[in-house]
Structure 1
Amino acid sequence: MTSSLIHPTAIVAPGAQLAADVAVGPYSIIGEHVSIGAGSIVGPHCVIDGHTRIGANNNFYRFCSIGGMPQDKKYAGEPTCLEIGDGNTVREYVTINTGTVQDVGTTRLGDDNWIMAYVHIAHDCQIGSHTVIANSVQLAGHIHIDDWAIVGGLSASHQFVRIGAHTMIGGTSSIRQDIPPYIIGAGDPFRPVGINSEGLSRRGFSAETIGVLKDAYKLLYRRQLSVEQAVEQMAELQQQHPESHQAVQVLVDFLKASTRGIARAQ
């Protein structure tokens, strides 16, 4: 492939599929099973390989390693995948691996995510959209992060952990169990301290709904209830506040699906 936007020192495999306006910087390497959508930029010294499909308007800064094989001793060369959506910013030295056949076989990153320098996203992670993953966050395999979550710098997450939507995790946290939606907290181990009220307000949640979510938080963390008992009482909240039913339902569904247990206040 020849293009005025591809630097002469870059190596683009013949099988790679790049939109006409994709820019590739000096000394970058694009593998034969890679596709990259319109408006995307690959900075200098990047490697993008594996069975990797990248959408439009993504920006990969220098020295990224995208689509490398999973760091899993069980991996035997299967053609697993990486899928990246649109409008993501991926900063320096980020590594994102493909999936494994022990899971769905595909690592996924949604749209409009801000992935800061030195982040590692391991095999089979499923990252939603509009997240912020700060510098040097380390995500082990099979982790799910829902939309609008913020993970502070130097935090590390155990395999199979789920992080709910609209959470805000402080820097240097150790995440060993699931973190329900809307929660704010930090620590080693992670300790919840309340509802991410400011973040929810910025995203258009009404004051009434934020108040109801605070009540749901109290049921979960302040009333000495089991998760099952808290979920039962959340149903009553939903009946009392139908305008907030869906917001509470997101929390209820997360709690019912949790298999690792949720992070608790210490």
Structure 2
Amino acid sequence: MHHARRRLTEGAGLAAAHIHSTAVVDAAAQIDASVQIGPYAVIGPNVRIGAGTTVGAHCVIDGYTRIGQDNRIFQFASVGAPPQDKKYAGEATALVIGDRNTIREFCTINTGTAQDRGVTTVGDDNWIMAYVHIAHDCTVGHGTVLANNATLAGHVQIDDFAIIGGLTGIHQFTRVGAYVMAGFASHISQDVPPFMMVDGNPLAVRGLNAEGLRRRGFSSARVAVIKQMHRLLYRQGLTLAAARAAIAALPTEEAQQDVALMLNLLDASSRGIVR
């Protein structure tokens, strides 16, 4: 395997200084010349890693895994291992990771399964802290924060700019909407509408993620419409169908995209929303 690593270096023009002498990199892996790979890392044959990405010591990256540019993968992460699913029978399922993600120590991110899309997806600019688990067929959007020990079961969807608190567990097939803030050690087993702040076990909506919206530069007009959506869903005693109809009828001049986010999740929910 030492010879395999040397062949990769010569064939792909990869500077030897960027791969530690103890790393094991399969000759078939496609590694950009600027990628840095630390001591004792192991890179499998079906891995592609884009420019500017760093891979820490003792990482294992395997499977049909595509990693974009400028990612920082810290030591001891396991990326692209087979899914923890008893139905998995060795199918060539994939993991796709975008650009500029931070993946901290001891994270585990698995490939997909043939029973779903066959691919696990992580977008761009995500901050994935230590011991996070992202299971098979999950979809993580852009700009999210997954705090230490957050655990995503299979088929979970995390939308853009959501923040998941430490030690939070998310049930399979559950969706967390955009701009959600989920507090420490939450138990999420139903879909969470966008913009909400939730925590607890059982999970409860505590209000809007007002600070998150402020930090994202939401105008006062947009926040006013989001507050109306929150009241319709949680403060006026309406049925879900009635609340959905009232939300669809809101004036949406400046907040059209925000109302669309809400309606999309309400209409697509298969597990029901937390109420």
Tell me, yes or no, whether TM beats 0.5: yes
Which structure 1 residue ranges, 5 or more long, are not aligned? none
Q: Which residue in the other structure is 1:34 paired with?
A: 47
- Paired residues, number: 262
Q: CA deviation at 1:81?
A: 0.1
Q: Which residue in the other structure is 2:219 paired with?
A: 206
Structure 2 length-normalised TM? 0.94
Determine which of 101, 105, 122 is the counterpart of 1:88.
Answer: 101
Query: d(CA) in 1 for partners of 2:81 and 2:31?
Result: 18
Query: d(CA) in 2 for partners of 1:25 and 1:80?
Result: 26
Q: Which residue in the other structure is 1:223 paired with?
A: 236
Q: CA deviation at 1:98?
A: 0.1
Any idea what the Cα deviations from partners look like across 1:14-53, whole Å, max 9, x if unmatched? 1000000100000000000000000000000000000000
Q: CA deviation at 1:123?
A: 0.2
Structure 1 length-normalised TM? 0.97
Q: CA deviation at 1:215?
A: 1.0
Indicate the RMSD between aligned Cα atoms, in angstroms.
0.8
After the TM superposition, list the runs of 4 or more consecutive aligned residues in structure 1 that deviate by more than 3 angstroms.
none
Q: Which residue in the other structure is 1:246 paired with?
A: 257
Q: Which residue in the other structure is 1:13 paired with?
A: 26
Q: CA deviation at 1:246?
A: 2.1
The residue identity in structure 1 corresponding to 2:273 is I
User: In structure 2, the residue corresponding to 1:249 is in which secondary structure?
Assistant: helix
Q: State the identity %.
A: 55
Any idea what the Cα deviations from partners look like across 1:170-229, whole Å, max 9, x if unmatched? 010000100010001210122111111111111121111111111111100111111111
The residue identity in structure 2 corresponding to 1:12 is V
Q: CA deviation at 1:122?
A: 0.2
Equivalence map 1:114-129=2 (5 Å): 114-129=127-142
Determine which of 118, 125, 135 is the counterpart of 2:148.
Answer: 135
The residue identity in structure 1 corresponding to 2:256 is H
Any idea what the Cα deviations from partners look like across 1:33-83, whole Å, max 9, x if unmatched? 000000000000000000000000001100000000000000000000000
Equivalence map 1:1-266=2 (5 Å): 1-2=8-9, 3-238=16-251, 241-264=252-275
Compare 116-125 and 1-10 and name the one that shifted more: 1-10
